[in-house]
Amino acid sequence: MRALLIATTLAGIFFISGCGEAPYQNNYKRTSGYSTQQTPTYPKQTSNTPQQQLAIARNGNYFRKNILNNEERKLYWALVHKLKGKKLTIIPQVSLGEVIGSKIDSEFYAINSKRCDFCIVDQDTFLPLFAIEYYGDGRNYGLNSGSNNIRDAIKQTALEIAGVTYIIVRPQDLSDIDSFIDREILGRI
């Protein structure tokens, strides 16, 4: 009876501590080499030591992902074409913590894990000039759209305070992207 009590207690501790959580559930369906169709489901993030993170990485099941979706690629190549010869560089999927900074920890942590779809920088100094967000078809934005709206408001506010122009591109803008780039980017240089 005592052995059963000990075993039950240890099992409870094991599951409560998170060790008994289901491992990462791979919901990706591969269609070819490295492209995917579905977003994975990850277990709750826990704070691990660097040694634990290394062990996780060594046992990982990593794969390559497309950095940009089809619409973002269309926008990227339009930007490359229109900005050619303008002494500007386009960098996709940039962490805001690499674009802007703050000496106050809470301000830095508010933006560090957020990304912009494209950052346009001065070719010589790499100083950020524009942050471009593509609002794809599946994105629901507006005053009551929840956390996406708040995340974007945080990004826009912090970038503009730092002097980086925040530009939103919507699906309808892609139909005449050259005029949009002329007006919203080249018209501000």
Instruction: Give the domain-ending residue among 33, 58, 83.
Output: 58
Residue 162 lies in a domain: yes
- For residues 43 and 110, membership in a common domain is answered with no
Which range of residues forms the domain containing residue 14?
A: 2-58
CATH number at residue 177: 3.40.960.10
Residue 65 lies in a domain: no
Phi, psi angle pair for 140, to nearest 5°:
-110, 110
- For residues 95 and 138, membership in a common domain is answered with yes
- For residues 53 and 117, membership in a common domain is answered with no
Half-sphere exposure of 27 (CA within 13 A, CB side): 7
Residue 63 lies in a domain: no
Residue 100 lies in a domain: yes
- For residues 82 and 167, membership in a common domain is answered with yes
pLDDT tens digits, one per residue of 84-129: 999 999 999 999 999 999 999 999 999 999 999 999 999 999 999 9
CB neighbourhood size of 77 (10 A) = 13
Cβ–Cβ under 8 Å, residues 133 and 169: yes
Supply the DSSP string of 42-80, one letter for each residue. Answer: -PPP----HHHHHHHHHT-------SS-HHHHHHHHHHH
Task: For residue 133, give the nearest of 170, 97, 99 by alpha carbon.
Answer: 170
- For residues 47 and 76, membership in a common domain is answered with no
Number of domains comprising the chain: 2
Phi-psi category of 126—alpha, beta or left, where left has phi over 0 and alpha has psi -120 to 50?
left
Report residues of the chain scoring pLDDT below 70. Answer: 1-47, 137-147
- Given this model, what pLDDT does residue 29 score? 39
- Given this model, what pLDDT does residue 139 score? 58
* Alpha carbon distance 180, 170 (integer Å): 10
Cβ–Cβ under 8 Å, residues 24 and 40: yes
- For residues 82 and 173, membership in a common domain is answered with yes
- Given this model, what pLDDT does residue 36 score? 47
pTM of the model: 0.70
